[in-house]
Amino acid sequence: MKRPSWPSWMPIDPYIAALLGTVGLAALLPARGTPADVASGASTAAVALLFFLYGARLSTREAMDGLRHWRLHLTVLLCTFAVFPLLGLAAKGLVPYVLTPALYSGLLFLTLVPSTIQSSIAFTSMARGNVPAAICAGSFSSLAGIVLTPLLAAWLLGHSAGGFSADSLLKIVLQLLVPFLAGQFLRRCGERRGRAQRVRQGGGRRVGGFLSRNKKVLGLVDRGSILLVVYTAFSQGMVAGVWNQVTPARLGALLGVEAVLLAVMLSLTWYGAKKLGFGRADRVAIQFAGSKKSLAAGLPMASVLFGAEASLAVLPLMLFHQMQLMVCAVIAKRRSRDPEAAEARAVDPGTEGVSSRAGSAASRTAAGTAPRSG
């Protein structure tokens, strides 16, 4: 029996649809009283689990191996954690005429989130760019974001994100950093044991093998945990009445501001990389890794940093995530038809199969059928 799949003509990512459904559920049936306390505790545990799995999956070696291409990775890091935040700070002039203070806080938080990994790789490959560089850049950005995003949020958002109080820093360490480091430690131990086992018996890596064999189940755990975090955050927002601050006109204005933000970053990463002397393949990697933001990393971070205000804080990120997938899918398809891309394909025809598979994955990501949103 054929499994049902998400219609390819639907313009929205299915996970975004699930997130919107969760928001609707929280609006109609917000958790109150004892159920709210239970949901809050479960959400805290879910965040810790997410970052544990995040650490177990992320290959530090891939990030470190790419340091020999340090100019490219430094460019991506500066785009992600310097240029983006500067544009976010510049948008403060839109308050209160275009954006409310709460929506602006969410927009500024969006600019502090690390880059994606999976969709950056897929779009880079689809556009015939430097895929190994995209892998390393995305991994390195994610590693840096574990520390930089909470610290930048505490610094730039002030009391909106808890500031530099001892309590907020303790929450960051216990709920984000400790589980992440535990996942990294388990991965490293598994890799060492795997190497020793291969020497003795020809065996494989235990942790890597487990993650590969259970990728679908772990993906469901990831997504289910994030949905729980979103439900808890939006329930708290409904109970606190924060949604009375948002009108359809303000949401439309937010979308317009985010469209300008994305257009500026796509232009800066492409033409700026050209000015810096990067070749076409590297420019493709810089554009897709330096202009995108990770929903999977940003949502749980927001729940820790913003508390009851997290519902409005994550709204700009959710909207930007869907926008970046749709726009980057169009750009990647056009880049794949560049004369330089055709020349690269002719020089190295062996990459055709890899690029085709990743290009298909990128198309599914934009249409909403990819296995995971980055």
pLDDT tens track for 199-213? 455 444 555 556 656
Residue 322 and residue 12 in contact, taking contact as beta carbons nearer than 8 Å: yes
Residue type, position 310, single letter: A
Residue 289 and residue 214 in contact, taking contact as beta carbons nearer than 8 Å: no
Rounded-to-integer distance, Cα 230 and Cα 314, Å: 9
Per-residue pLDDT tens digits for 285-300? 999 999 999 888 888 8
pLDDT reported for residue 5? 57
Provide mean pLDDT across the span 27-32.
86
pLDDT reported for residue 184? 82
When pLDDT is cut at 50, 70 and 90, the band that residue 352 belongs to is very low
**CA neighbor of 128 nearest in space, from 288, 298, 318:** 288
Rounded-to-integer distance, Cα 113 and Cα 121, Å: 18
Rounded-to-integer distance, Cα 193 and Cα 204, Å: 9
Per-residue pLDDT tens digits for 65-116? 666 788 999 999 999 999 999 999 999 999 989 998 889 999 999 999 999 8
When pLDDT is cut at 50, 70 and 90, the band that residue 336 belongs to is confident
When pLDDT is cut at 50, 70 and 90, the band that residue 124 belongs to is very high
Provide mean pLDDT across the span 150-160.
80
The mean of the pLDDT values for the chain is 78
On the 0-12 / 13-18 / 19+ scale of CB atoms within 10 A, 369 is middle
Task: Please say if the pLDDT value at position 264 is more than 90.
Answer: yes
pLDDT reported for residue 209? 59
Residue type, position 268, single letter: L
